[in-house]
């Protein structure tokens, strides 16, 4: 029969083993609930059409997700906007724990959130952006991805792709993947631009690379960087295929990231 001291030691060990598990489980369900809301906002934003969608269309989204008007919002792509709306979603309790107790991020309490911005001119949408921010371990670059629907002629990337642009860079401690799509983009390009994926947020390891948040657009980016015209202009190792890791831009893991993106695009073939 166990002595009182031994019994207490066993209870303490059992408690120590169960606390991380319960915490991780709580983080998982908080993330899962938030993820579903964020995906619903993504679908609603994807349905907005620049030049076609109206104030009423945007207001339905704002009312559903608790957004608000924000006159401070501005975009050079739509300088004459006369109305602006902002929607933000996040698991606030989870984020606070992740910010206050850095170690808790290993248990799934990784701060993250999404936002949607809509600018209108004379009752019609002239700018729509959906963005996501995911924090990793303290000291590592934040992961950011944004998809912006713009008016005709407002794309800021490679002129060779005037309706569907993609770019990535490390800036001010954040690895940001930017996606731009115009109203004349092909249906597949429209789909790729808004094909964001938040499954890594609820995974055990969390999101490690920005390519995980937009695997389809990333695959398009990698494909473009292999074209002869791109290499001739930017060089073999200077393309947008670089990714962010520990504060630097690297290209050495391009092959692994390419396979990850392509497998995400074709899940049935990922086991081959």
In terms of DSSP H, where are the helices of 75-211?
92-100, 187-193
Q: Which two tokens stand for residue 127?
A: 């700018």
Dihedral pair phi/psi, residue 4, rounded to 5°: -55, -40
Establish how many alpha carbons lie within 13 A of residue 140's alpha carbon, considering only the half-sphere containing its beta carbon: 19
- Does the pLDDT at position 246 exceed 50? no
Strand partners, 118: 85, 128
Strands 142-149 and 174-181: parallel
Residues 6+ apart with CB under 8 A from 201: 31, 35, 110, 112, 134, 207
- Range of lowest pLDDT (11-15, 95-99, 205-209): 11-15
CA angle, 114 as apex, 94 and 119 as ends, to 5°? 150
Find out whether 84 and 117 touch, Cβ atoms under 8 Å: yes
**pLDDT given for residue 136 in this prediction:** 82
Summarize the chain as % helix, strand, coil (round to 5): 45, 25, 35
In a 3-state reduction of DSSP, which class is residue 5? helix
The predicted pLDDT at position 164 comes to 93
Distance, in Å, from the CA atom of 207 to the CA atom of 209, rounded to the nearest integer, reads 6
Whether 208 has a pLDDT exceeding 60, the answer reads yes
Q: Is the torsion defined by CA of 142, 119, 42, 94 positive or negative?
A: positive
**Contact indicator for 55, 118 with CB cutoff of 8 Å:** no
- pLDDT reading at 80 higher than 70: yes
Alpha carbon distance, N-terminus to C-terminus of the chain: 55
Q: Residues 61-78: pLDDT tens digits?
A: 999 999 999 888 888 888
Arithmetic mean of pLDDT over the chain: 76
φ, ψ for residue 173, nearest 5 deg: 75, 15
> Of 271, 261, 139, which Cα lies nearest the Cα of 210?
261
Q: pLDDT at residue 56 above 70? A: yes
Q: How many Å apart are CA 197 and CA 112, to the nearest integer?
A: 13
pLDDT of residue 129: 97
């Amino acid at each position: 029969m166990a002595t009182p001291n031994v019994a207490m030691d066993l209870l303490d060990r059992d408690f120590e083993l169960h606390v991380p598990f319960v915490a991780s489980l709580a983080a998982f369900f908080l993330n899962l609930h938030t993820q579903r809301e964020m995906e619903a906002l993504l679908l609603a934003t994807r349905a907005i059409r620049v030049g076609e969608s109206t104030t009423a269309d945007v207001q339905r989204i704002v009312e559903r997700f608790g957004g608000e008007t924000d006159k401070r919002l501005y975009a050079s792509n739509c300088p004459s906007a006369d109305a602006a709306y902002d929607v933000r979603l996040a698991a606030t309790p989870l984020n606070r724990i992740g910010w206050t107790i850095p170690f808790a991020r290993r248990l799934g309490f990784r701060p993250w959130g999404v936002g949607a911005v809509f600018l209108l001119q004379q009752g019609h949408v002239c700018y729509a952006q959906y963005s996501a921010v995911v924090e990793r371990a303290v000291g590592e670059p934040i992961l950011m991805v944004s998809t912006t629907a713009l008016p005709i002629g407002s794309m800021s990337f490679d002129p060779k792709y005037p309706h569907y642009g993609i770019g990535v860079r490390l800036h001010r401690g954040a690895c940001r993947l930017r996606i731009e799509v115009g109203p004349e983009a092909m249906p597949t390009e429209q789909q790729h631009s808004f094909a964001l994926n938040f499954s890594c947020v609820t995974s055990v390891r969390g999101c490690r690379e920005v390519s995980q948040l937009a695997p389809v657009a990333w695959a398009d980016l990698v494909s473009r960087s292999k074209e002869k015209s791109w290499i001739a202009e930017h060089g073999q190792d200077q393309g947008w295929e670089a990714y962010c890791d520990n504060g630097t831009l690297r290209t050495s893991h391009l092959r692994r990231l390419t396979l990850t993106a392509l497998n995400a695009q074709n899940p049935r073939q990922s086991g081959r």
